[in-house]
Structure 1
């Protein structure tokens, strides 16, 4: 498995960066795209890096927030065939709360109807191609996590805490073990690790890649997470975007040689 970060908050080699994430992946002869950042800027980076977006066969949207979905139209204008896989229940209904104000942070309004022929909705543990799975949250009570994070979804006329039913992880089965791509981990990295372990009994997790949503998390909690990663024997933790610099420093201290900060332009192979 080979991956290249097409856009992240940080950059290398003069590439564009933005608050968002997009990852190009090659797996078992297939070419995949995970997320599209918060604009079409990832397309320019792909061109600079020699990644041909027209060759992408499958797209995955990790969750229904703008910083992962707002580049979708730009992708569809360049790639006429690839379907994008979203979680059943994905809607244009995500909001963030700051003080008493609610701000829309979801997929662009009208997008899902406009591009309905390019979207596939995944239900349950969904095998997209042999060895590549989309894994949803099954843990009850994640709406409490949503409330603490100030994340909401609109149900009718009401805003209710987000249970992250629209969030999914991309899990690749490699010779080295399972590789989890979890773009924001809103439900919690521990939750995602446990759900993947339960979904694939007897399989080891060798890598966790993506954002961990730790930028508001206490140092004590970050160190506890690092301890669990170490105990499970996860050998690579490649993280950025919403992880946060303070949490990243703690992870690198606790997990030397395991934790790495991702950035735009970064490439790596596993298995």
Structure 2
């Protein structure tokens, strides 16, 4: 399995970054795109990295936030065949809400209707190709995290704290063990690892790749998270995006070489 980071906050070798995430993955002869960043930058970067988006077999949206979904329309223009997998809880209803402040942070308005023939909704543990799975959250009470992070969903009955029913983990079965991708890990890094453990109880989990959404968290909370990550038995983490430099630095202090930081153009193989 080979991974190329197409979009991240950290630019590299003249290839620009942005606040967002996109990764290109090759696994068992299949080509997969995870997220599309916050703009059409992912398409420009893919060209610079010699990635032909027309050849992508599957696309996956990690969760329903703009910095992972704003390039969806561009992807559909470039690639006319690949299905795009979303969690069935994915809608145009995600907001940041603090007091009287309401800020829409969701996917492009109208995108799911415009491309309804290309979008596939999934739930539970869903295989999409040999050795490639999507795993939805099964941990209860994730709305408590949503409330703490001031993330809400707007429903017909009013505002409710986000329970991240729109978020999913991409899990790949490699020769080295299972590799988990969860682009922002809103449901909690340790929760995500444990969900995948429960879904594949006989298999080793080698790595987790994604942002951890800890850029606002107190230092003590990040150090405690590092301790809990180590206790899961996972061998390696690679983080960036919403962990930001500070979050990564603290994790690295606690986890040492177990922790790596990704950047635009980085390649990983398992």
> What TM-score do you get using the length of structure 1 for normalisation?
0.97
What's the counterpart of residue 62 of structure 1?
Answer: 62
Secondary structure of 2:160's aligned partner: strand
What's the counterpart of residue 137 of structure 2?
Answer: 137
What's the counterpart of residue 13 of structure 2?
Answer: 13
What's the counterpart of residue 31 of structure 2?
Answer: 31
What's the counterpart of residue 43 of structure 2?
Answer: 43
What's the counterpart of residue 202 of structure 1?
Answer: 202
What's the counterpart of residue 147 of structure 1?
Answer: 147
Q: Deviations 1:68-109 (Å, cap 9, x if unpaired)?
A: 000001111110000100001211110012343010111111
Alignment length, in residue pairs?
A: 270
Task: Please give the alpha-carbon distance, in whole angstroms, between the structure 2 residues aligned to 1:242 and 1:180.
Answer: 17
Task: Please give the alpha-carbon distance, in whole angstroms, between the structure 2 residues aligned to 1:178 and 1:99.
Answer: 41
Q: Deviations 1:33-84 (Å, cap 9, x if unpaired)?
A: 0000010111000000100101100000000011000000111111000010
Secondary structure of 2:246's aligned partner: helix
Task: Please give the alpha-carbon distance, in whole angstroms, between the structure 2 residues aligned to 1:157 and 1:202.
Answer: 42
1:224 partnered with 2:229: no
What's the counterpart of residue 192 of structure 1?
Answer: 192
What's the counterpart of residue 107 of structure 2?
Answer: 107
More deviation in 19-28 or 245-254?
245-254
Trace 1:165-184 onto structure 2 (pairs within 5 A).
165-184=165-184
Q: Is the 8 A contact 2:211 2:241 kept in 1?
A: yes
Question: Structure 1 residue 221: deviation in Å?
Answer: 2.1
Task: Please give the alpha-carbon distance, in whole angstroms, between the structure 1 residues aligned to 2:219 and 2:129.
Answer: 38
What's the counterpart of residue 120 of structure 2?
Answer: 120
> What TM-score do you get using the length of structure 2 for normalisation?
0.97
Q: Is the 8 A contact 1:10 1:17 kept in 2?
A: yes
More deviation in 27-36 or 95-104?
95-104
Q: Is the 8 A contact 2:193 2:232 kept in 1?
A: no
Q: Is the 8 A contact 1:171 1:178 kept in 2?
A: yes
Question: Structure 1 residue 182: deviation in Å?
Answer: 0.5
Question: Structure 1 residue 157: deviation in Å?
Answer: 5.3
What's the counterpart of residue 256 of structure 1?
Answer: 256
Question: Structure 1 residue 225: deviation in Å?
Answer: 2.1
RMSD value, Cα:
1.1
Task: Please give the alpha-carbon distance, in whole angstroms, between the structure 1 residues aligned to 2:28 and 2:235.
Answer: 21
Question: Structure 1 residue 197: deviation in Å?
Answer: 0.8
Q: Specify every segment of 5 or more residues in structure 1 that has no aligned partner in the other structure, as ranges.
A: none
Task: Please give the alpha-carbon distance, in whole angstroms, between the structure 1 residues aligned to 2:221 and 2:174.
Answer: 30
Secondary structure of 1:256's aligned partner: helix
Secondary structure of 1:44's aligned partner: helix
Q: Is the 8 A contact 1:24 1:32 kept in 2?
A: yes
What's the counterpart of residue 88 of structure 1?
Answer: 88
Q: Specify every segment of 5 or more residues in structure 2 that has no aligned partner in the other structure, as ranges.
A: none
Q: Is the 8 A contact 1:16 1:42 kept in 2?
A: no
